[in-house]
Structures are given as structure tokens and as C-alpha cells.
Amino acid sequence: MEVEAKFPYVEGVEEKVREIAELIIEKYEHDVYFAHPCRDFAQTDEAIRIRRDVEGITLTYKGPKVDAETKSREEIKLKVKDFESARRILERLGFKPVAEVKKVRKIYGFGDAIICVDEVEDLGKFVEIEIEAENLGVKEKVFQIAEQLGYSREDSIRESYLELILQKKSRKDSSETGQKS
């Protein structure tokens, strides 16, 4: 399980991250998310995606969030060799691409945690703190790291980048529909 919290980027936070953590990698990530043919992932709070980055191609299932404060959830990853073949397999099974998330991610190591500074296309910048664990027992540690960076629990954003992009698209579509009436 990934125990994770996301926060809006605030000026000076990356300097604080560099003071306590070590840069592991900076990379570009391109994710394609899919809709399930038989159930509504927005209702079940699940996701399936294919990610391409410098480390390869990964097919990922994300289960429903397991608590009210964080983005913590089960995550199952599978390395694949070919992005387009993985995409075609999902599409042949009835999955439909619904959105893409493109970002530049700086990953910092801090003990057993990682701190990501993300610049997401069409959304802006965010900070994510994540610890891989068997259960939510490390949640307090995630929030302690957040405190070191100047964040409080209340600053946490539970929506995934996919959810934020779909919300933005929905607002844009609504405003365009309203203007045409």
C-alpha cells in the first residue's frame, strides 16, 4: 500500500525539501488513464493507468482510498515492455482512455519516505509525501514530514491528479456549454 498525502506547492517549499532530503531523480512521466467497461471508477474510487517514464513502462491498478485524510490506497504495479501493446490489450478488453496526466517529477529520498515535487501540465505544482507500507500505521510519519515542510493536515489534497484534471475539464465544459446557451 502507498500511504500518501499531497499538498499545494508553496513558494520556498522545494528549498525545505532539499534541506532534509536527497534528490534521487528528476523525470518526465506520461500517464494514460482508462475507464472500465463495466463499472464506474469514479464511483468505486479506483484507477488503471499505463505510465511511461525513463525507468520504463508500468501498468498500475490503484484501489479505493482507505482513509479520509490521505490518498492512501492499494497499488499493484506491473512492468510491461511496450506501451502501445499494453494500451491495445486494455482497449480490446473494453477499457477506454479517459485522460492523460503529464508531469515533471523530482523525487527526493528521506529515510523510508519519498517526497515528490511535481509540475503537472494544466494543473500546476504540488508536493507529495509517500511511504510504502503494509498498513496506515505510517500515516502520522507522513504528516510529520509535511509539518517539517510547513504544511498542516488541513492542507492535504485527497484528489488524484486524474481527479483534478477531470474536475477542471468538467468545469471548462460546463462554462463553454453555459456560454453557448
Please report, for the domain that includes residue 58, its CATH number. 2.40.320.10
* Residue 181 domain flag: no
- Is 9 considered catalytic here? no
Q: Is the pLDDT of residue 35 over 70?
A: yes
Q: Is the pLDDT of residue 179 over 70?
A: no
* Residue 180 domain flag: no
Average pLDDT of the residues in 89-102: 97
Give helix 13-20 / helix 139-148 axis angle, nearest 10°. Answer: 120
* Residue 99 domain flag: yes
Q: Is the pLDDT of residue 24 over 80?
A: yes
**Count of domains in the chain?**
1
Asked if 75 contacts 63 with a C-beta cutoff of 8 angstroms, the reply is yes
Q: Is the pLDDT of residue 87 over 90?
A: yes
Domain that holds residue 38: 2-175
* Residue 133 domain flag: yes
Average pLDDT, the chain: 94
Asked if 121 contacts 132 with a C-beta cutoff of 8 angstroms, the reply is no
* Residue 95 domain flag: yes
Predicted confidence band at 128 (pLDDT cuts at 50, 70, 90)?
very high
**Cell 512492468 maps to which residue?**
79
Q: Is the pLDDT of residue 176 over 90?
A: no
State how far the Cα of 146 lies from the Cα of 144, in Å rounded to an integer. 5
* Residue 8 domain flag: yes
pTM: 0.91
Of 33, 108, 151, 161, the active-site residue reads 33
* Residue 119 domain flag: yes
* Residue 101 domain flag: yes
Predicted confidence band at 116 (pLDDT cuts at 50, 70, 90)?
very high
